[in-house]
Amino acid sequence: MLPVKRVDHISMAAPSWREQADLLEKLLGFKFLSSWQAGPGSDFNGSVSQVRGTGIEFEVIEPATPGSFVRKYIEQNGPGLHHITVEVHDIHETAAEIERLGMKPFGGIADDGEWLLTYIHPKDSGGILWQFFVPKRAPKEVDRNAGGGIVDLQRVDHVSMAVEDVNRQAEWQARVLGMSELSRWRDDYLGYDGCVMAIPGSQLKFEIIAPFRPDSFVQKFIDARRPGMHHICCEVTSVHRAAAALKAEGIEPFGGVIESDWKRHTFLHPRDSGGVLFQLFEEPQSPK
C-alpha cells in the first residue's frame, strides 16, 4: 500500500488555463492562487485554484508547445479531467512500493525543482493517471478563502470514475491507495452499479461507477472514450437557486433539476464548464 498523505489537487487539460480558471472561479468559486510558465524541459503552462470546503486545489494545464502531451490529450479527448495528484510521505518508498505491487513507476522519480514526483500510468490503474509527490520546500502562505461562485458551491464531495468492473476497481483502490469502502448501490433505472470509497487523509471521496446494461450512460462513456474520470460531484446550498443562477448566465442546467428519494441534483455540462461534467447536489434536510 502506498504511503498516502493527502489529495493535493485534481487536474484538467484545457486550451487556455487563464480562460478556464476564470470560468471556474465565476461558476464554482475556484479561487485563483498562482500560475506558471513552461521552463526548460517542460511543455505546458498552468494554474492552480483553491476549492472551497474540501481542502484540495484544482489545476488547469495548457499546451506550451506544438508537440505538448497536453495538446495531444486535448486533440484525442477534448478538454477534460487529466490526473489526480497525491502527496506522499516518501517518494522513494512510493516508487519501491509501486514496483512491489507489480507496476512500474511511470517516468521513474523526477525532480521539477519544486517536487520530487512519480506516477502510476492509467493502463496500470484502470484508467486514471495518478501523480505522487513530496514537496522540496514548505508551501508559501496564500489567501485560501475560496468562494462558491454563482452556484454557491460549498464543497467537492467526490470525483467519479467510470470502469467496466466495480469490484475489480474497488479492490485496486483499497490495495494500492488504502481506500476504504463506504457504500454500494445498484441503479436499476440507469443501469449501473456504484461504490463510494474514503481516501486516506482527505475530505474528498472517490466514486466508482460501472455499467451492468449496454444502454447505460456509463457504458456509452467508456465506449466513446475509455475507462477514466467521469465527473466531479459538488454540494451547493440550493440546487434550485444554483439552476436559476446558471440560467441567468444563459446556461441550461443539464437534465434539469432531478428529485430523488436520496437527494436533489442537477448537472453543469462539459460544454458549459470548459470540459468537465459537474454534478451539483444539496444535502437532504433532516426531518424536524
3-state secondary structure (DSSP) of residue 238:
coil
End-to-end CA distance of the chain: 44
Tell me what pLDDT residue 178 has.
98
In this prediction the pTM is: 0.96
Tally of residues, the chain: 288
d(CA 157, CA 280): 10
Domain positions in the chain? 4-135, 153-282
d(CA 279, CA 235): 8
Tell me what pLDDT residue 285 has.
61
Given a contact cutoff of 8 angstroms between Cβ atoms, the answer to whether 5 and 121 are in contact is: no
Which architecture, in CATH terms, is 153-282? Roll (3.10)
d(CA 48, CA 10): 10
Tell me what pLDDT residue 141 has.
78
CB atoms inside a 10 Å sphere around CB 129: 21
CA dihedral sign of residues 98, 99, 104, 108: positive
Given a contact cutoff of 8 angstroms between Cβ atoms, the answer to whether 60 and 46 are in contact is: yes
Tell me if domain 4-135 and domain 153-282 are identical in fold.
yes
Tell me what pLDDT residue 229 has.
98
Which architecture, in CATH terms, is 4-135? Roll (3.10)
Tens-binned pLDDT, residue by residue, of the chain (288 aa): 999 999 999 999 999 999 999 999 999 999 999 999 988 778 999 999 999 999 999 999 999 999 999 999 999 999 999 999 999 999 999 999 999 999 999 999 999 888 999 999 999 999 999 999 999 988 777 777 899 999 999 999 999 999 999 999 999 999 999 999 999 999 999 999 999 999 999 999 999 999 999 999 999 999 999 999 999 999 999 999 999 999 999 999 999 999 976 789 999 999 999 999 999 999 876 544
5-29 pLDDT tens trace: 999 999 999 999 999 999 999 999 9
